[in-house]
Amino acid sequence: MVRTILMKYGELILKGANKRSFEALLCNRIKARMRRLLGEDGFEFECMQSTLYVTPKDDSMVEEAYDDLKKIFGIVSLCISYRAEKNIDDIVKVATKHIPNHIKSHRSFKVDARRSDKTFPLTSPEIMSIVGGELSEVCPDVKVDVRQPDIVVRVEIREKYAYIHAGAEHGAGGMPYLSNGRGLLLLSGGIDSPVAGYMMAKRGVEIDAIHFESFPYTSERAKEKVIALAKCLTKYTDKVRIHFISLTEIQEAIRDNCEEDYFTLILRRFMMPIAERVARRYGAEALITGESIGQVASQTMSALAVTDCTVNIPVFRPCIGMDKEEIVEVARKIDTFETSILPYEDCCTVFTPRHPRTKPILEKVEKAERGLDREALIERALATETELIVER
């Protein structure tokens, strides 16, 4: 038995002159993943007519390869198919041997056939009728229903082989990773920011991360948690570079010199420009945060305006219109949720004001931070930068 994973990348990304580079990026990512998993010569790869083919040489690795390929952005759907020689006898033989396992738990099925090789001696309706008839004999309890079948068996006659499968699944969707510039993700230990990173990565944006720590107010475990979250993202991105910056001096300066109600806002007015400078240094063209409108005091419309005006770089907030439950749903899907809810402190949760301002006025915030030498504090914070590359 030879099984091939078939993947479709859909028509969306085929628009315009970018088609070739998208396709090349996608193929390279798939090959790199498969090389890691199966070894340099452990698989066959082909790309033809908007379909990508991966055939692991060791068939026992097919499921693992399939799970890996499900996390590649840009793939719309995928399935595990059985490969047959391009003659009807072999197609029937392969179909009747392997497809019953897939359809026997269903009430009805139909066979759909497609020939991209028009020289194949049978027409699509002929293939459907022959394969459908043979399968009916092997699975007499599963009815043929061409209108509303529970499951569709597909026979695809391609250039070199015929492929037979039943039940394609959704792929990771989105656009090929690295196809849309680089962004710097403000990664906290919370639920929202890893989701924000995932959502932008899905659109093809390369993700670098920045994490602010506040030792000794935040702990080594809080840092490890952030590394674990970045590790989850690497299932999609392969690697994530994290820049760590200490905010201890800034937080103490805020505590000692500013009005308490503004603590969080002022802190955020430091985080953003520091992130902007790190972004520029490493070629990121936007900041990404996990903010959602109205979720906490610092995420009201006016609070966001008061922090946004400290930077001159686009700030993307893909969770902005999502409810917490919706964000949690994605967090569970990408396996970050259980790590995110570990109860370690974040720099945003030390020195939190009892009565944070939800409708801050810029002039008042500026007045509250007048006692701080912003530029010097930012420079010294930037000097604390350390870097870690997390790999899959």
Q: Which residues of this chain interact with Mg ion, rule CB under 5 A?
A: 188, 190, 346
Beta-bridged to residue 241, according to DSSP, are 208, 389
What are φ and ψ of residue 341, in 5° steps? Answer: -85, 0
Q: What crossing angle do the helices spanning 220-237 and 192-202 adopt, rounded to 10°?
A: 20
What are φ and ψ of residue 389, in 5° steps? Answer: -105, 120
CA 120 from chain centre, in angstroms, equals: 40
| Nearest of 175, 131, 187, 137 to residue 156 by alpha carbon | 131
276 is an interface residue for ligand ATP by CB under 6 A: no
Please, what is the minimum distance in Å from the beta carbon of residue 298 to ligand ATP?
A: 5
Q: Select the binding partner of residue 291 from ligand ATP, Mg ion, none (C-beta < 5 to 8 A, by kind).
A: ligand ATP
Q: Which is nearer to ligand ATP, 210 or 381 (CB)?
A: 210
Report 196-225 residues binding ligand ATP (CB under 6 A): 210-212
In the block, which residue shows the tokens 């974040």?
346
Find the part of the chain contacting ligand ATP (CB under 6 A) among 136-144, 188-196, 248-256, 377-385: 188-196
Q: Select the binding partner of residue 176 from Mg ion, ligand ATP, none (C-beta < 5 to 8 A, by kind).
A: none
273 is an interface residue for ligand ATP by CB under 6 A: no
What are φ and ψ of residue 288, in 5° steps? Answer: -130, 130
Q: Which is nearer to Mg ion, 103 or 287 (CB)?
A: 287
Q: Which is nearer to ligand ATP, 177 or 212 (CB)?
A: 212
Q: Residue 40 contacts by C-beta under 8 Å, 6 or more apart in sequence?
A: none
Q: Which is nearer to ligand ATP, 7 or 200 (CB)?
A: 200
Please, what is the minimum distance in Å from the beta carbon of residue 237 to ligand ATP?
A: 17
Q: Select the binding partner of residue 94 from Mg ion, ligand ATP, none (C-beta < 5 to 8 A, by kind).
A: none
Out of 171, 190, 356, 360, point to the residue binding ligand ATP (CB under 6 A). Answer: 190
Q: Which is nearer to ligand ATP, 71 or 211 (CB)?
A: 211
307 is an interface residue for ligand ATP by CB under 6 A: no
CA distance 174 to 9: 9
CA distance 236 to 232: 8
Q: Which is nearer to Mg ion, 68 or 346 (CB)?
A: 346
Q: What crossing angle do the helices spanning 62-69 and 19-38 adopt, rounded to 10°?
A: 140
Is 100 in contact with 92 (CB distance < 8 Å)? no
CA 6 from chain centre, in angstroms, equals: 20
Find the part of the chain contacting ligand ATP (CB under 6 A) among 9-17, 157-165, 170-178, 284-292: 284-292
Q: List the x/- string, 132-171, binding to ligand ATP by CB under 6 A.
A: ----------------------------------------
Please, what is the minimum distance in Å from the beta carbon of residue 185 to ligand ATP?
A: 7
56 is an interface residue for ligand ATP by CB under 6 A: no
CA distance 272 to 134: 65
Q: Select the binding partner of residue 23 from Mg ion, ligand ATP, none (C-beta < 5 to 8 A, by kind).
A: none
Q: Residue 191 contacts by C-beta under 8 Å, 6 or more apart in sequence?
A: 290, 324, 327, 328, 331, 336, 337, 340, 341
191 is an interface residue for ligand ATP by CB under 6 A: yes
CA distance 106 to 375: 67
Please, what is the minimum distance in Å from the beta carbon of residue 209 to Mg ion?
A: 14
Q: Select the binding partner of residue 186 from ligand ATP, Mg ion, none (C-beta < 5 to 8 A, by kind).
A: ligand ATP
The 10 Å Cβ neighbour count of residue 137 is 8
Out of 27, 286, 293, 296, point to the residue binding ligand ATP (CB under 6 A). Answer: 296
CA distance 285 to 294: 26
- Residues of the shown chain interacting with ligand ATP in the complex, contacts defined by CB under 6 A: 186-188, 190-193, 210-212, 289-291, 295-296, 298, 346-348
